[in-house]
Amino acid sequence: MRILVTGGCGFIGSNFVRLLHQERPDAEIINLDLLTYAGNPANLVDLEGSARYRFVRGDIRNPEQVDALVEGSDALVHFAAESHVDRSTKRPGEFIETNVYGTYVLLDAVRRLAPRARFLQVGTDEVYGDVEFPSFPDENAVLLPSSPYSASKAGADLQVLAAHRTFGLDALISRCTNNYGPYQYPEKLIPLFIVNALENEALPLYDGGTQVRDWLFVEDHCRALLLLLERGSAGEIYNVGANQDPEVSNREITRLILELTGRPESLIRPVEGLRPGHDQRYAVGTQKLRALGWSPECDLVEGLRRTVAWYVERRDWWEPIRSGEYRAFYEQHYGQALGSGKAAAPKRAAKASNS
Ligand SMILES: NC(=O)c1ccc[n+]([C@@H]2O[C@H](COP(=O)([O-])OP(=O)(O)OC[C@H]3O[C@@H](n4cnc5c(N)ncnc54)[C@H](O)[C@@H]3O)[C@@H](O)[C@H]2O)c1
């Protein structure tokens, strides 16, 4: 069984590759990743030397590179994407190229060279847009993406459905809520706030932190993906989420992080002004996936405790990231100099990252 994983050096992809390698000893895994700012080969350093794992640096937008790897593959799990909402509002074209065109290149290669291979598209609940409480959209809900990121992911999903319907590809889609856990690039809310807290730097929380996301521990997402890869039905969409009850706001997440890192609430820096197209609440109905036997194993407090412990222990992983490209983006976007220990005045409407 040869499984091609795209974007396996990113946050969720690397957690998935590790799980797959551990749980399926017959799986040969090829990881195609461009190593953008978000991809880090160090995420899978523990698999180096495994005869069943191979990393290939390459671009899902390059048909020649993709063709060579798709031929002979039995399944493809597609994580590779531009994934940060804040970046998508600045450079939307890059999101269309990678998330929409890149997905087309993969589907086209599967159609021509591995028409019986299973194709699992790793999607996001953000395609449903802002969801009013107490609604929980199911998989048939209308798509109302708010950001260039979620619109590009919706474009990818629709191509996957069309490839199933028109070409008969064995393709399916997962749509997961926000993930957190080890190896998440520290630009997204939870890892950003953990590392800032550990460094005694300000936590830029905006609009009172009232936004609600249904945070899921990354390992639970990866187990859902493995289940869908093996037992999901072709042409179907499966929502994935923790369905936390009660729901938890970003403000409460921030408080939990401060508690777990032993830092004071005075580190919170309230930020004025909305991110353009900013969604207040995400939530999904997950009955379809749960009917296959999946449920989350890690609750939010335990997941955050494990995540904070990982970032405390793995400074070797995140300290090198907080320089170069990261520093430039952070300073421009959050209006804060790294390492100053204090928040500077925002250069423009500074924003905290929510997804
Ligand atoms: N993070 C979340 O909370 C979340 C939730 C639901 C769904 N998703 C989806 O899961 C997937 C993975 O998310 P993540 O948070 O791990 O993202 P990430 O940004 O951490 O990783 C993306 C990976 O894709 C690679 N990549 C980017 N462009 C590429 C290209 N052109 N060719 C090959 N590789 C390329 C990057 O190098 C990186 O390793 C994405 O498709 C995202 O939309 C994420």
Query: What amino acid positions are annotated as catalytic residues?
Result: 125-126, 149
Residue 30 falls inside a structural domain: yes
Residue 299 falls inside a structural domain: no
Report which protein residue has its CA nearest ligand 1's atom 13.
12
Chain-centre distance for alpha carbon 203: 21
Residue 20 falls inside a structural domain: yes
Cα(82) to ligand 1 centroid in Å equals 6
Residue 347 falls inside a structural domain: no
- From the alpha carbon of 61, which atom of ligand 1 is closest? 31
What pLDDT score does 206 carry? 82
Q: How many domains does the chain have?
A: 1
Cα(187) to ligand 1 centroid in Å equals 13
354 pLDDT band, cuts 50/70/90, is: very low
Residue 228 falls inside a structural domain: yes
- Domain holding 129, by residue range, is 2-179+216-240
Residue 24 falls inside a structural domain: yes
59-108 pLDDT, tens digit per residue, is 999 999 999 999 999 999 999 999 999 899 999 999 999 999 999 999 99
Cα(39) to ligand 1 centroid in Å equals 8
Residue 11's CATH number: 3.40.50.720
153-163 pLDDT, tens digit per residue, is 999 999 999 99
Residue 297 falls inside a structural domain: no
Residue 352 falls inside a structural domain: no
Predicted structure pTM score: 0.94
349 pLDDT band, cuts 50/70/90, is: very low
325-329, Cβ contacts within 8 angstroms, sequence gap of 24 or more: 325/37, 326/37, 326/186, 326/187, 329/87, 329/187
Report which protein residue has its CA nearest ligand 1's atom 1.
179
- From the alpha carbon of 84, which atom of ligand 1 is closest? 19
99-127 pLDDT, tens digit per residue, is 999 999 999 999 999 999 999 999 999 99
336 pLDDT band, cuts 50/70/90, is: low
**CB 11 less than 6 A from any atom of ligand 1:** yes
